[in-house]
Amino acid sequence: MSGTGRIMRGLGEAPAGNQGAMAQVAVVVHEEKLAAVRGADPRELLRAALLARGEPPPKLYPTSSGDAGEGATRAALAEGAQLVVVCGGDGTLNACAAALAGTGVPMAVVPIGTGNLVARNLGIPRDLASAVATAVGGAERPVDLGRLGPPDGGVLVGMAGVGLDAAMVQDAPKALKRRVGWPAYVVSLVRHLADRGFPAVVEVDGRRSRHWNVRTVVVGNVGALHGGLALFPDAQPDDGVLEVAVLAPRTVLGWIPVAARLLRGGGGPPTVVRRRGRHIVITGRGSLRREADGEPLPDGSVLDVTVEPGALLLRTEG
């Protein structure tokens, strides 16, 4: 029997004749992230929590190098899953959300990724035991998604960006990410603070504005970055709109007042422009680095995002 097969049997893979009941709760797990978890195995915590409630044990759906979680989630739905628990980081959460959008099947999250930015913004506990308790007994809350337009496809749950934001995410040292988590992004950020700016056109619900010397443009469904920075102080994940911020400090030192204002959650200096709307299109000159929920997108000149209000049903603390 393969290692995955042994794990699935340990999690309560359904015996013959009872497959439907045993597939009621699905666990989509990023096994590489799981290997770095210290302490209790969240799969076993989930199994114990469900059995304590008199419910059948969960069924495991591992991600793979060719499937970040969307295919695993679709397989779980096809087998009758009534709750999908995501054990992974922002990228795994994003992929699973793409499959769950509009289905009415709730998602729960046990955050074991590097940044877990979405989970932090949406009130998912960082402690694994508390996250498991929320997964099996939390309240369900509809939240918005951003739908990425051509040529990308897929969804946005937390934030997406072009320029510095994407370069920071893509170039964070992998070994350091495994050791220290999100502070690894700071190392990458510092390396890219002096990157050249670019011109960009930002279209929000059909209204265009032009910007010069842009360092990064971020679209957000949530508001808080790591380190206490509030990029979108008024963002709500269920208000039916998306936020967009254009950051264009003229020099490296120009980032200092930007960071200071974001730490205070203020409106930002003149080099930070914020807008909000239902359909946001960012168009740059040439090929730009891009990301969505911490996962790289192919380089391109356009990022097109449309809000889908209440498209994802998420379990949070009651």
Query: Catalytic amino acids?
Result: 295
Residue pair 166/290 in contact (Cβ under 8 Å)? The answer is yes
State the greatest distance between any 2 C-alpha atoms of the chain, in Å, as a whole number.
66
Q: Which two tokens stand for residue 126?
A: 């960082």
Residue pair 137/176 in contact (Cβ under 8 Å)? The answer is no
Those residues with Cβ within 8 angstroms of residue 215's Cβ, 6 or more apart along the chain or in another chain: 163, 164, 195, 197, 247, 248, 249
- CA dist 38 and 36 (Å) reads 6
- CA dist 87 and 111 (Å) reads 6
Residue 117's φ and ψ, nearest 5 degrees, are: -65, -40
The letter for the amino acid at 138 is: G
- CA dist 166 and 291 (Å) reads 5
